[in-house]
Amino acid sequence: MLFGGGAIAMLFAGLQAGRANRAVAGPGRLNVVPVEVIEVKKVRGKDAVTYLDNIRSPSKRNIRTFMDKGQEPLIGYDEAGKPVGLAVLHEQSKTPILLDSRLERIEMTEGERQAALAAFDAEQEQRGVVRAANPSPTVKRGPNILRGLAAGLGVIVLAVVAFFGFWLYYVTSAPDAFDSIGIEINNIMPEPLNTWGCEQLYKRFGDDRAPFGCTADDYQSWKVAQPTGKVKS
């Protein structure tokens, strides 16, 4: 369930990204929106920028975009002096697109680009004193190996817990001794655990034939049954 859910989430995110890319490929009205840039790191030679559209809305969804070599996020300062990333929201999309500091990520003439940057710089200069008192936080660069290892280890731990958790449920509480997943897990367990599991199953289902992994040489009776105990004839 964990791995399947992760795969579905990645597929859903990919479909959303593709839909957003198709929507902004055509002409349309662009509205400037502030976003929170939370991380910048190198991925395959490009800057991968992660940001949140949580300033204008309560959304907590991470958005990642890749910037070409030499491009940097366009960072401005709000009225309180807090640094914010500048993005544009296409009228046909719900996902804001982060701008770069030279406005090369959107189609504009050079004159339009210079006029827009001049207006932006003029507005920011009016907040110069506040900006100096509140410098932009340093963003992370380079792959975070420890975070990746921790995430991978977390997935492995969850998988192991789920594996043993289902096995314990099967041998101690499952209503059916012939649950296919439970049988396979119990069968591959080390001999001491397999024997213990079969003993728990025998206590509840000893009047029936034994499931695979708990059978004796006749492939029907229980291998954990005592000579005077319950044996399927």
- On whether residue 140 sits in a domain, the answer given is no
> pLDDT, tens digit, for every residue of 87-132?
888 888 788 888 998 988 888 899 999 998 998 888 888 766 444 4
DSSP code per residue over 61-99:
-EEEEEE-TT--B-EEE-TTS-EEEEEEEETT-SS-EEP
Looking at residue 230, what is its pLDDT? 46
Looking at residue 134, what is its pLDDT? 42
Number of C-beta neighbours around residue 210 at 10 A: 25
Q: Domain check: are 92 and 166 in the same one? A: no
Ranked by mean pLDDT, the top range of 15-29, 60-74, 108-122 is: 108-122
Q: Domain check: are 121 and 165 in the same one? A: no
Domain boundary among 133, 159, 190: 133
Number of C-beta neighbours around residue 84 at 10 A: 19
Q: Domain check: are 30 and 67 in the same one? A: yes
Q: Per-residue pLDDT for 68 more than 90? A: no
Q: Domain check: are 67 and 97 in the same one? A: yes
Domain count of the chain? 2
- ∠ CA 9-36-2 to the nearest 5 degrees? 20
Domain boundary among 133, 153, 183: 133
Looking at residue 38, what is its pLDDT? 85
Number of C-beta neighbours around residue 91 at 10 A: 11
Q: Domain check: are 81 and 17 in the same one? A: yes
Burial of 171 (0-12, 13-18, 19+ CB in 10 A): buried
Q: Domain check: are 157 and 122 in the same one? A: no
Please give the backbone phi and psi of residue 188, each rounded to the nearest 5 degrees, phi first: -90, 0
- On whether residue 138 sits in a domain, the answer given is no
- On whether residue 139 sits in a domain, the answer given is no
57/160: higher pLDDT:
160
Q: Domain check: are 186 and 127 in the same one? A: no
Looking at residue 135, what is its pLDDT? 45
Q: Domain check: are 14 and 84 in the same one? A: yes
The rounded distance, in Å, linking the Cα atoms of 14 and 190 is: 41
> pLDDT, tens digit, for every residue of 149-195?
888 888 899 999 999 999 999 999 999 999 999 999 999 999 999 99
Please give the backbone phi and psi of residue 57, each rounded to the nearest 5 degrees, phi first: -145, 165
> pLDDT, tens digit, for every residue of 191-224?
999 999 999 999 999 889 999 999 998 888 999 9
Q: Domain check: are 44 and 12 in the same one? A: yes
- On whether residue 207 sits in a domain, the answer given is yes
Q: What domain range includes position 60?
A: 2-133
Looking at residue 132, what is its pLDDT? 40
Looking at residue 108, what is its pLDDT? 84
Looking at residue 231, what is its pLDDT? 45
Q: Domain check: are 30 and 96 in the same one? A: yes
Domain boundary among 133, 156, 191: 133
Q: Domain check: are 13 and 78 in the same one? A: yes
Q: Domain check: are 149 and 66 in the same one? A: no
Looking at residue 174, what is its pLDDT? 92
